[in-house]
Amino acid sequence: MGGLIWVLLGLLILFLPGDPGNRIFFTGDPSSYSTEASNDLIYSARVVGVAFLTAGLLLSAIGLTAFKGGEKWAWYGTATPLITLLFSVYLAATGERGSAVNVFVQFLTLWVVQALALLLSIRSFFPAKPVAVIVAQ
């Protein structure tokens, strides 16, 4: 399910008409930018769309094969997109990029859903170790 959401988000960003850079990165009034800067912003948004699409396809493939099979590496593989959350928090905290807070808020729902799904499946991938019981005689 998470992979499908990433695919749809990637397609939306990739095929968004007009200037998707302004909609994605919230950079302000695009009329004040030079043509080159505006083109760079559009190109950057398309690259983000391709990255999301690719990540969604990979997550879907992992989820439909290895994750269903209960392989531990698949659990870790589906948890890797949550690293982007940490990166966004870092960018927002350091002020390296003004839109990092917006990116964090935009994708928070996606991260929460994915984190809950991983937490709910944790015991099926990592069962509790049996405790040895010593019986006194």
Q: What tens digit of pLDDT does each residue of 56-95 get?
A: 899 889 888 988 888 899 888 888 878 777 776 676 666 6
The whole-model pTM stands at 0.68
Helix axes 100-120, 72-79, angle to 10 degrees: 160
**Higher-confidence residue: 47 or 137?**
47
Three-class SS string for 87-108? HHHHHHHHCCCCCHHHHHHHHH
Q: Per this entry, what is the length of the chain?
A: 137
pLDDT of residue 98: 55
